[in-house]
Amino acid sequence: MKNLLLISVYLLFILIPFYPMFIDAGPVSVTVSATVPSSGGGGGGGGGGGSSSSDVTSVTFSGRAYPLSKVFILKDGQIAASSIAGPNAVFQISLSNLSEGNYVFSVYGEDDQGRKSTLFTFPVFVTDGVNTKVSDIFITPTIDVDKSQVKKGDNIAIFGRTAPNSDVVISVNSPIEYFRNTTSDGSGGYLLNFDSSPLDMGSHHTKSKAELAGQISQYGKVLGFMVGNENILNNGDNFLRGDLNDDGKVNLVDFSIAAFWYKKTLTGDIINKEVERLNGDSKIDLIDFSIMAYNWTG
């Protein structure tokens, strides 16, 4: 008996230092269950809601993104869950282990080319013991162009991803706003060859929104291009605005960097970063934070 006790004490002391070798790396995060439903959801407006009594305080998000795209849920500005949409672009994600109170949730999608939608943000009051449902979310289409500058009179291809077989409205903004319609294919891809003839020389913007089964998304990201004397291809290495630490995300890290330089004279690398990824006025002010908040990925 005595020997057993001694061996136990000895083993305990021997094994303690090796304990860290056997544990997995990685921080703890919110308990999340995410499922991909097999059938599509119903139509509706720009996001609905509902609730039911439950033992667990939770919120369930559902709606449309792009086929097999990543969908991210942000809770108060930080990623709380992610999932993959089904082949029909429908997604459903649940967040549990929440306290009662007001939350600001955001949803966004990322297509197979890494293009991100705008955030769809909504405040929700979560009640203790109730499963709150946020349904009919229609994530905005992604958008891209084939040229950063188009020769006046040539076509510029405007394309992206949305839900399959959606009607897509593309706006090209200049002194006069031009609207063109197209339809997404079975995989959610859409393409419009826009004739630049009516556009003035200089800078222009384009954006798109989608409509499916009576549901209409908001306009997605605004993308700029130039009309000039020659074509310049879009090489796709545009910086993500607001990404100050080059990690392809705009989140609390970038916010912290910007907050450090807020109202201070910029020195060192931040000078170039401000020009490349913020509004380029050589200072960090609230306009830069607004740009960051618009491009937020969590």
Partner 1 sequence: MEIQKLISSTLVLWLITGQVNMKNRFFITIFLLFFTYFFVPNFSHASNILIETESTNYRIGDIVRFDLYINTSGSLINTIETQVNFDSNDLKFFDFGDSDSVINFWIEKKSLPNVINLSGIVPGGFASEKGNLISLYFETLSEGKKYLTVKDSVVFLNDGEGTEEKIPDSSFTILVSNEVNIDVKKGKNYIKDIYPPETFTPEISRSSSLFDNKWFLVFSTKDKDSGVSHYLIKESRYKPFLFFKKWANSESPYILKDQSKSSFIAIKAVDKAGNERIEKLYPEKSRPLIEQISIGIAFGLIGLLLMFILYKILKKISEMGD
Measured from the CB atom, the residue of 40 and 294 that comes closer to partner 1 is 294
For 208, what's the count of Cα atoms within 13 Å in the CB-facing half-sphere?
Answer: 32
Residue 205 Cβ, how far from partner 1 at the closest point, in Å?
Answer: 9
Question: What SS3 state is found at 296?
Answer: coil
Interface with partner 1, residue 176, by CB under 8 A: no
**Which one of residues 41, 86, 109, 298 is an interface residue with partner 1 (CB under 8 A)?**
298
Residue 193 Cβ, how far from partner 1 at the closest point, in Å?
Answer: 25
Stretch that binds partner 1, among 17-25, 40-48, 85-93, 148-156 (CB under 8 A): 17-25
Residue 174 Cβ, how far from partner 1 at the closest point, in Å?
Answer: 16
Question: What SS3 state is found at 43?
Answer: coil
Residue linked to tokens 């006069």: 176
Binding mask 25-64 for partner 1 (x = CB under 8 A): xxxxxx----------------------------------
Phi and psi torsions of 7, nearest 5°: -65, -40
CB 145, CB 113: distance < 8 Å: no
**Which one of residues 152, 154, 165, 294 is an interface residue with partner 1 (CB under 8 A)?**
294
Interface with partner 1, residue 4, by CB under 8 A: no
d(CA 86, CA 65): 9
Measured from the CB atom, the residue of 14 and 176 that comes closer to partner 1 is 14
Residue linked to tokens 């605005």: 241
Measured from the CB atom, the residue of 1 and 176 that comes closer to partner 1 is 1
d(CA 181, CA 192): 8
- 27: how many CB neighbours lie within 10 A of its CB? 4
Length of the chain: 298
Restricting to residues 116-175, which ones interact with partner 1 according to CB under 8 A?
A: 118-123
Residue 115 Cβ, how far from partner 1 at the closest point, in Å?
Answer: 15
Measured from the CB atom, the residue of 40 and 48 that comes closer to partner 1 is 48
Residue 153 Cβ, how far from partner 1 at the closest point, in Å?
Answer: 28
Interface with partner 1, residue 222, by CB under 8 A: yes
Binders of partner 1: how many residues, by CB under 8 A?
77
Interface with partner 1, residue 276, by CB under 8 A: no
d(CA 78, CA 152): 43
Amino acid letter for position 228? G
Interface with partner 1, residue 106, by CB under 8 A: yes
Residue 278 Cβ, how far from partner 1 at the closest point, in Å?
Answer: 9
For residue 187, give both structure tokens: 């995989």
Measured from the CB atom, the residue of 11 and 233 that comes closer to partner 1 is 11
CB 275, CB 284: distance < 8 Å: no
- Cβ contacts of 18 within 8 Å, gap of 6 or more: none
Question: What SS3 state is found at 156?
Answer: strand
Residue 151 Cβ, how far from partner 1 at the closest point, in Å?
Answer: 26
Restricting to residues 62-101, which ones interact with partner 1 according to CB under 8 A?
A: 74-79, 97-101
Helices 286-294 & 252-261 angle (0-180, nearest 10): 170
